[in-house]
Structure 1
Amino acid sequence: MLENAYIMVAIILIINIVYVSFFTIRMILTLKGRRYIAALVSTVEVVVYIVGLGLVLDNLNEIQNVIAYALGYGIGVVVGSIIEEKMALGYITVNVISSNPDIEFTRKLREKGYGVTSWLAYGMEGDRLSMQILTPRKYELRLYESIKQLDPKAFIIAYEPKQIHGGFWVKQVRKGRLLNPRQVGQKKKAPDQSNE
């Protein structure tokens, strides 16, 4: 009987970890506009939820089952967030202000395949180079490393854009050309395309 109690606790714990992980993934997919995949994930999610909750409600007098359910929920949140980081869906916009107004900064980032729009700015202590960089989230950390190599004191702010439209860079990403040095810059832009 004791062995069955341990098995029940393990099953409830695992079921809730799986359920909350699916819940997190479904929420991310919904926020990213992937509604059909989110609907498919939610179908699996609700089945797992019903099974787990049913096990707990059938054995509500066993406190270890309730504790396992609660622990599974907490662990599921952590696992779900790790999965979301690994999926790295969508894009991120990074605003950078460098105390080095040298335009070479932007050229070096463009050579690595990033979409960079830059302009000269003026800060409290003089001229600055201001840049707006768009990148898929999976390259976010690599971008930060590149910026810090070029200017360790650069001021960096990142946010997730809600909608992206136009520009030659988005087309390059869709064709899988981002961060492939041989293909970056090979195609000439049409005159009516923007530099973003």
Structure 2
Amino acid sequence: MLQALLIVIMQFVIVPLTTLRTIFVVKGEIRTASILGGLEALIYVISLGIIFSDLSNYLNMIAYAVGYAGGVVLGGYVERKLAIGYRTYNVSLLEKDLELCEMLRAEGFGVTLFEGEGRDGNKRFRLDIVVKRNREKELMKILDEKAPRAFIVAYEPTSFKGGYLVKSMKKAVKLRTFPITKQKP
């Protein structure tokens, strides 16, 4: 019974490590991914060693499966909490909204405005907004309030280059942390 509990605990650790390792590989953080991969392999060998030492012990096998399933849930939770990386939101509007663009920029989001044509030849406006994943809820709250009828599509860019995105995001976060109040003349 103690072995089964140990196996469950090891799976609760190994599967979130696998999730994180995969994320770090995708994000290009190879050194971090390799460290996690080594730790993952060590835990994997130990847990399978326990199972293979007595193949008649079905409780250990069930513990492995239960621990693995629970580890997947835990790994998903950890990934959402860490929110590593960026997302790009395409926000389609029926009307040009420069006020919304400026508000989003002031909050530190990277925003580009495009004008296009809809199916019936009507003008449409699209905002491309780049956001750190840990600020997605904040962005969606603003969009829900200021553009409730917008059509929104999100995707995760694998890389980007150039622009002032990172610099402007850092600047906006500093301004929000330490607000500057204007003096009346």
Mark yes or no: TM-score above 0.5: yes
2:126 aligned with 1:147, yes or no?
no
Q: How far apart are the structure 1 equivalents of 2:63 and 2:172?
A: 45
Q: Secondary structure at the match of 2:171?
A: coil
Would you say the 8 A contact 1:111–1:181 is kept in 2? no
Match in the other structure for 1:69: 64
**Which ranges in structure 2 are unaligned for 5 or more consecutive residues?**
181-185
2:154 aligned with 1:158, yes or no?
yes
Q: How far apart are the structure 2 equivalents of 1:26 and 1:12?
A: 20
Deviating more after overlay: 45-54 vs 114-123: 114-123
Match in the other structure for 1:190: none
Quote the offset at 1:18 in angstroms.
0.9
Stretches of 4+ moved more than 6 A in 1? Answer: none
Quote the offset at 1:37 in angstroms.
0.5
Match in the other structure for 1:129: 125
Q: Once the two structures are aligned, what percentage of the paired residues are identical?
A: 34
TM, length-normalised to structure 1? 0.83
Match in the other structure for 1:53: 48
TM, length-normalised to structure 2? 0.88
Q: How far apart are the structure 2 equivalents of 1:102 and 1:23?
A: 43
Match in the other structure for 1:11: 6
Match in the other structure for 1:114: 109
Q: How far apart are the structure 2 equivalents of 1:24 and 1:60?
A: 28
Match in the other structure for 1:189: none
Spell out, residue by residue over 1:79-127, the C-alpha distance to the aligned partner (whole angstroms, 9 max, x if none). Answer: 1111111111111111101123232121111121111000233324733
Would you say the 8 A contact 1:93–1:160 is kept in 2? yes
Picking from 151, 166, 169, the partner of 2:165 is 169
